[in-house]
């Protein structure tokens, strides 16, 4: 019974479409994640290096992948949360 209630609740939400608001939220979430990573990652320039590290804040590939992955998870949560409460 609980499963059918959850499925019924999950299917009543209208689909989320991309908009400039969604894009801006994702960009802000990634900038925030990179800023947090800049101050918290112990070895930000770990190997392998990126071709132009000055464009990536001195981060190596692992740090870039970690911060942008965190940014996308954070952004998806914010976007879905705002969509579920009807703000976007």
What are the extents of the domains in the chain?
17-84
Terminal-to-terminal C-alpha distance of the chain: 31
Give pTM, 2 decimals. 0.74
- What are the distances in angstroms from CA 58 to CA 40, 73, 75, 83? 14, 23, 23, 35
Give per-residue pLDDT as tens, 65-74: 999 999 999 9
Contact 56, 64 (CB under 8 A): yes
Q: Compute the mean pLDDT over every residue in the chain, rounded to the nearest whole number.
A: 83
């Amino acid at each position: 019974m609980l499963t059918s209630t959850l499925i019924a609740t999950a299917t009543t939400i209208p689909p989320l479409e991309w908009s400039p608001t969604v894009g801006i939220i994702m960009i802000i979430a990634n900038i925030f994640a990179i800023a947090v990573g800049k101050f918290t990652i112990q070895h930000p320039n770990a190997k392998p290096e990126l071709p132009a590290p000055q464009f990536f804040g001195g981060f190596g590939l692992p740090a870039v992948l970690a911060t942008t992955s965190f940014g996308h998870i954070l952004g998806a949560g914010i976007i879905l949360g705002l969509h579920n409460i009807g703000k976007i």
